[in-house]
Amino acid sequence: MSDSAAQPVITISDFLKHAPAELALRVLAGERNLPEREISTARIQKLGLALAGFTNYVRPGRVQIVGQSEVWFLDHLETDERRAAISRLALEKISCMLVTKEIAPPAELIEMAEEAGLPLLQTPLVSSAAISLVTEYLQSALAPRELRHGVLLAAYGLGVLIEGESGIGKSECALDLIMRGHRLIADDVVEVRRTASDQLLGGAPELLREHMEIRGLGIINVRELFGVAAISVRKPIGLVIRLERWAEAKEVDRLGIDERSIEILGVKVPHVILPVSPGRNLSTLVETALRVHLLRIRGSNAAQQFAARHSEMLKRNDE
């Protein structure tokens, strides 16, 4: 069902390639090590305390910010003191340094970064703006993720993940839903990322985006067939629907009183199991499951209302 991956990391090469264009990043030193040095956390660090001697505060895997205060501190040191302050940073262990506000860093910092193969980058943005953009980008790029086998649709403003064994009819069901006005996000392989403690964002790997595989028809391009309104790039996942063959479905809720959930990347997502058999209209059932879920979000649960009416009727009969 899923293919979990290790905690993502990105190289400095990828960071330079995909970071927001507003950063206008350029390399001052350490270009030879861009493909080897890696960023593993979205947390940003400023080097002020470390330059003053508190080197234990330097954490690996982070972008280290060198702003006006850090450069001012280094500029007011004698040459030997400046070199000593920089050497205490253990440059070989730092992912990269980012000099903000297009400040000219001390020549010793450029020289020692080049010697250590430390990527030294520069941006024209002030520290606060640079930190905000870098953090936002890294939170997305380094979000925990896994690949799941299924189809992801955008329907009624909700990301709906349809899962089930191969050949059960997920793609055909999704195609019918697309023809009813819903939008395809991913078919066959769904990339799920945890972008917040309680939010999962679903999308498609770049190679598969906009495409579906329909048995008997092969690979189809949904955008070319149905127009740009038939596709979506990504959506927060709000409901997981699992299709199971009727004979194998053992956990079907006959009344629908209890709300089920499934855990993905540590986040609980509402979960519905739909038995599949010849003659059952899957797309209608999925659409109805969606509407039922949306009503429950608004506080209306037909099964609970029915059970309450039934209990009230029994109570009146006993009287």
Q: Pick the catalytic residue: 76, 215, 250, 254?
A: 254
149 is catalytic: yes
> 299 is written with which tokens?
């506080």
Helices 170-179 and 282-297 cross at an angle (nearest 10°) of 70
* DSSP code per residue over 210-273: TEEEETTTEEEEHHHHH-GGGB-SEEEEEEEEEEEEGGG-----SS--SPPEEEETTEEEEEEE
Q: Pick the catalytic residue: 14, 88, 176, 188?
A: 188
CB atoms within 10 A of CB 202: 25
Q: Pick the catalytic residue: 37, 82, 145, 170?
A: 170
Distance between CA 148 and CA 152 in Å, rounded? 10
Q: Pick the catalytic residue: 46, 59, 83, 149?
A: 149
254 is catalytic: yes
Kindly provide the residue ranges of all beta strands, DSSP E only, lying in the chain, ordered along the sequence. 2-4, 10-11, 26-29, 38-39, 45-46, 63-66, 96-99, 120-122, 145-155, 158-164, 183-196, 199-203, 211-214, 218-221, 234-245, 261-264, 267-276
293 is catalytic: no
**127 to 51, 58, 98, 124, 135: CA distances (angstroms):** 17, 18, 9, 9, 12
Contact status, residue 130 vs residue 66, Cβ threshold 8 Å:
no
The catalytic residue positions are 149, 170, 188, 254
